[in-house]
């Protein structure tokens, strides 16, 4: 069935979706930090997690030629295909001028053990539009609501495939439908897929704190409002793998943590 054929995507109105429309990072962490810092109280009954005014920022570099993104056959989904002005491709690699987008960057360790942060009152959103997920890579906090939208006048069936959390499988047969879900445990990353359109994939990082970001199309990211400390920063990409580095940042300081990825060897 052609609808199940793997392919690739280039959105006529933006490869990126809402995860990285600006040059900087577009992660959920920064807005979440503001909420955490404002309340000053943990939601889980443990010690309230500290915040501060330190920043870790950087750029995700990509060396070598980026692999060609697979083409997608949307000929059986005219409602989606009509949203593109050129043949859609699956944006596995978003590379521009040697910079890599859609990399999830987060604080893996260094925060006080047991510290908790209140979940954001603003939900995260993932949209199905043009038979692709927008954003493709994003982060949420534990128990933060995720609004799942369908902007296509076709059947979508979003399926979460976590290892630590409870999965879900939601059918949305028409445009304008929304559903709400959340995850109760930290997990990096939770894969999302569509059972109807085999090329549709997305990933969400679930964390107990708000210190995460997703690199924008220019490869940049910023994690703000950190307390002073020494942190392990991890960068994850769906094809290029995982990298870590240690960063020590003082109060009020901004430290740079650049990463360099390349295509995996065949």
Buried b (16+ CB within 10 A) or exposed e, 119-149: bbeebbbbbbbbbbbbbbbbbbbbbbebebb
Q: What count of Cα atoms within 13 Å lies in the side-chain half-sphere of residue 84? A: 24
pLDDT of residue 156: 97
**How many beta carbons lie within 10 A of that of residue 256, not counting itself?**
10
Contacts of 266 (CB under 8 A, 6+ apart): none
Q: With beta carbons less than 8 A apart as the criterion, state whether 154 and 131 touch.
A: yes
pLDDT of residue 47: 60
| Mean pLDDT (whole number) for 249-256 | 98
Q: With beta carbons less than 8 A apart as the criterion, state whether 196 and 3 touch.
A: yes
Distances (CA, A) of 113 to 7, 49, 209, 223: 43, 9, 11, 20
pLDDT of residue 17: 33
The mean-pLDDT minimum among 32-46, 194-208, 227-241 falls in 32-46
**Which has the closest alpha carbon to 35: 23, 24, 45, 48?**
48
pLDDT of residue 6: 33
CA 141 to chain centre: 12
Q: Give the residue, 11 or 252, on which the prediction is more confident.
A: 252
| Mean pLDDT (whole number) for 187-214 | 97
pLDDT of residue 2: 38
Q: Is the pLDDT of residue 114 over 70?
A: yes
Query: Rounded distance, CA 184 to CA 166, Å?
Result: 8
**Which has the closest alpha carbon to 87: 171, 193, 12?**
12
Position 115 confidence tier, pLDDT thresholds 50, 70, 90: confident
Q: Give the residue, 262 or 34, on which the prediction is more confident.
A: 262
Query: Rounded distance, CA 254 to CA 218, Å?
Result: 19
Q: Left (φ > 0), alpha (ψ -120 to 50) or beta: where does 176 sit?
A: left
| Mean pLDDT (whole number) for 250-254 | 97
11-25, 42-56, 119-133: which has the highest mean pLDDT? 119-133
pTM of the model: 0.84
Q: Is the pLDDT of residue 160 over 50?
A: yes
Share of the chain above pLDDT 70, in %: 82
Q: Is the pLDDT of residue 51 over 70?
A: yes
Contacts of 113 (CB under 8 A, 6+ apart): none
The mean-pLDDT minimum among 36-50, 57-71, 79-93 falls in 36-50
């Amino acid at each position: 069935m052609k609808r199940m054929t793997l392919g690739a995507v280039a959105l006529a109105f933006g490869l990126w979706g809402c995860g990285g429309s600006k040059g900087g990072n577009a992660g959920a962490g920064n807005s979440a930090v503001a909420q955490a810092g404002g309340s000053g109280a943990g939601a889980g009954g443990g010690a309230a997690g500290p915040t501060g005014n330190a920043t870790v920022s950087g750029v995700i570099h990509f060396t070598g030629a980026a692999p060609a993104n697979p083409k997608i056959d949307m000929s059986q989904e005219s409602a989606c295909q009509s949203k593109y002005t050129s043949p859609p491709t699956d944006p596995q690699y978003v590379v521009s001028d040697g910079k890599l987008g859609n990399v999830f960057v987060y604080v893996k360790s260094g925060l006080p053990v047991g510290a908790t942060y209140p979940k954001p009152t603003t939900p995260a959103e993932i949209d199905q539009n043009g038979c692709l997920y927008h954003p493709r890579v994003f982060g949420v906090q534990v128990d933060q609501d995720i609004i799942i939208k369908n902007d296509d006048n076709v059947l979508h069936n979003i399926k979460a495939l976590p290892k630590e959390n409870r999965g879900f499988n939601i059918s949305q047969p028409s445009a304008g439908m929304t559903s709400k879900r959340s995850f109760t445990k930290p997990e990096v990353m939770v894969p999302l897929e569509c059972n109807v359109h085999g090329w549709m994939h997305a990933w969400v990082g679930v964390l107990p704190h708000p210190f995460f970001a997703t690199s924008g199309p220019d490869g940049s990211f910023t994690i703000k409002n950190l307390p002073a400390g020494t942190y392990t920063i991890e960068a994850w990409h769906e094809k290029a793998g995982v990298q870590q580095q240690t960063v020590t940042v003082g109060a009020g300081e901004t430290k740079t943590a650049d990463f360099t990825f390349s295509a995996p060897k065949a």
